[in-house]
Structure 1
Amino acid sequence: MIVRGLLIAALLLGPVNPSWAQSPLVAELESFATRYHEDPPKLDRLREGLTQAAKADPRVEHLLALSRVCFIWGDIRAADRDQKLEAYDQGREAAKKAIELDPRSAAAHFWYGTNTGRWGQTKGVVRSLFLLPTVQEEIQAVLSLDPKFTAVYALAGNVYYEVPGLLGGDLNKAEEMFRKGIELDPKHTGMRVGLAKTLIKKGRTPEARRELQAVLDEKEPRNPADWTLKDSKEARALLESIKGK
């Protein structure tokens, strides 16, 4: 349901609550989320630590950090489909509890929608269409609460890009969402990859090529880890796929 582009959306979030600084594990995750490529196994320790922290002290900041690390762990560390599903489901549940504690937390709605979408993608689009309304509702909740919450535009863009037209997919809206995200953060390279894929699907290859080259030329990506392991590789692959077109 939601493509790989979600990962950059998820990792690029900044601090969502000043009290996060009170928890060493939460602060550590905040710092590590853009450097996970330096030591991927460290995600194992962070996930376990935040799982225990959320059980012992289920504050919103612990639940949000747990939801976040579960998403990253599922994408980066999971060895198989079952491990991915388990991680995303844990992330969903943590974010859901955070929403119950703070219904107006844009981050809580984002993580609930993001983990739900990734769980559905991993499970299979046909088998998870029932989750689409939930993801769409969470996107709208985030946009209503905080229109400048950059990461939600990557989530929304990918939903519009991936979902069949009869079920709400819309390439024009996908382009609109990705462009809005880039307007808010021009160094969000995952957003540019999403825009490029949309432009390719719309037959606007020259524009897509420019966006992909911009990804490769970016000297200060918002998330160096994701640029290194994800965005630059996908940009090169997409450029190769449209070579000569």
Structure 2
Amino acid sequence: MRALLTALALLVVGTAWAGSPLVRELQALSTRYNENPEKIDELKAALEKAGESQAADVDTLLALAQVCFMYGDVRATTEDEKLAAYDRGRQAAKRAIELAPRSAPAQFWYGANTGRWGQTKGIMRALFLLPTVKEAMKTALALDPGYAPAYALGGSIYYEVPSYAGGDLDRSEAMFRKGLELDPRYTNMRLGLARTLLKKGHTADARRELEAVLGEKAPSNPADWAVKDVPQAKAILATLGDHS
């Protein structure tokens, strides 16, 4: 789930916000973060300062939730740093929900940061927080059925979670396929579908999806595709005897 959450979260920032110069700066960074990872630190500090104000708007809080998630995944080097970043991110998303309870992105960021915080803490904490993460995902989809990132989150949840705790590969596949209907160039969504198909024993279908990831000419998030999705797709193909 970690890899799936990482990539879907890095994609979503550019899909819903306008807002302040800081927000626009983060939107731009989200598709080219590989060029200057240190910029994440700078934006995190600036957005944290902006978010401290009681007058912080929804866009600023969503940007703070996003950059904290990015920092936890890309820049943090210790478990404590990761936990602090994800916790700050979920608190920012929670404030965004309070201001805009019908915001699908706010629900998504709350679920994504909460899920990552639980994963960092360990499997038992992750399972304990699972109902919270699932509720955020379901609420995001109820508010906006066309919000593709929530399908990626849902697909990863149903893929990763054990069946006794609510995992369901058929539902995972359905989530990923619906997300790809909405955004066919969402390469992490396609990677998630490939993993699910492999787990179901559909190796040939999974291989086609992985090759489609590698062959994508206009990914929704070019940086994410280059840094996350291509290496992961190649690694999975290598386990199938394909080293292309």
Please name the residue that 1:37 is paired with.
34
Q: Is the 8 A contact 2:8 2:149 kept in 1?
A: yes
Letter in 1 for 2:165: L
- Of the structure 1 ranges 177-186 and 123-132, higher mean CA displacement relative to structure 2 is found in 123-132
Q: Provide Cα deviations, 1:160-215, integer angstroms capped at 9, x if missing partner.
A: 00111111100000000011111111111101110111111111101000000000
Structure 2 distance, partners of 1:194, 1:158, is 7
How far residue 81 of structure 1 moved from its aligned partner, in angstroms, is: 1.6
Q: Provide Cα deviations, 1:73-132, integer angstroms capped at 9, x if missing partner.
A: 111111122211111110000000110111111110000001011111111112332101
Query: Higher relative contact order at CA 8 Å, sep ≥6: structure 1 or structure 2?
Result: 1
How far residue 7 of structure 1 moved from its aligned partner, in angstroms, is: 1.8
How far residue 8 of structure 1 moved from its aligned partner, in angstroms, is: 2.1
Q: What CA RMSD, in Å, does the superposition of the two structures yield over aligned residues?
A: 1.1
Q: Is the 8 A contact 2:17 2:23 kept in 1?
A: no
Q: Is the 8 A contact 1:88 1:115 kept in 2?
A: yes
Instruction: Check if 1:46 corresponds to 2:43.
Output: yes
Identity rate, percent:
57
Please name the residue that 1:63 is paired with.
61
Structure 1 distance, partners of 2:125, 2:140, is 25
5+ unaligned residues in a row in structure 2: which ranges?
Answer: none
Q: What TM-score does the superposition give when structure 2 sets the normalisation length?
A: 0.95
Instruction: Check if 1:160 corresponds to 2:158.
Output: yes
Q: Is the 8 A contact 2:61 2:93 kept in 1?
A: yes
Structure 2 distance, partners of 1:172, 1:227, is 25
5+ unaligned residues in a row in structure 1: which ranges?
Answer: none
Q: What TM-score does the superposition give when structure 1 sets the normalisation length?
A: 0.95
Please name the residue that 1:16 is paired with.
16
Structure 2 distance, partners of 1:106, 1:229, is 27
How far residue 16 of structure 1 moved from its aligned partner, in angstroms, is: 2.3
Count of residue pairs the alignment pairs up: 240
> Is the partner of 2:102 in helix, strand or coil?
coil
Q: Provide Cα deviations, 1:149-169, integer angstroms capped at 9, x if missing partner.
A: 010111000000011111110
Match of 2:90 among 89, 92, 112: 92
How far residue 58 of structure 1 moved from its aligned partner, in angstroms, is: 1.9
Please name the residue that 1:226 is paired with.
224
Q: Is the 8 A contact 2:151 2:175 kept in 1?
A: yes
- Of the structure 1 ranges 136-145 and 117-126, higher mean CA displacement relative to structure 2 is found in 117-126
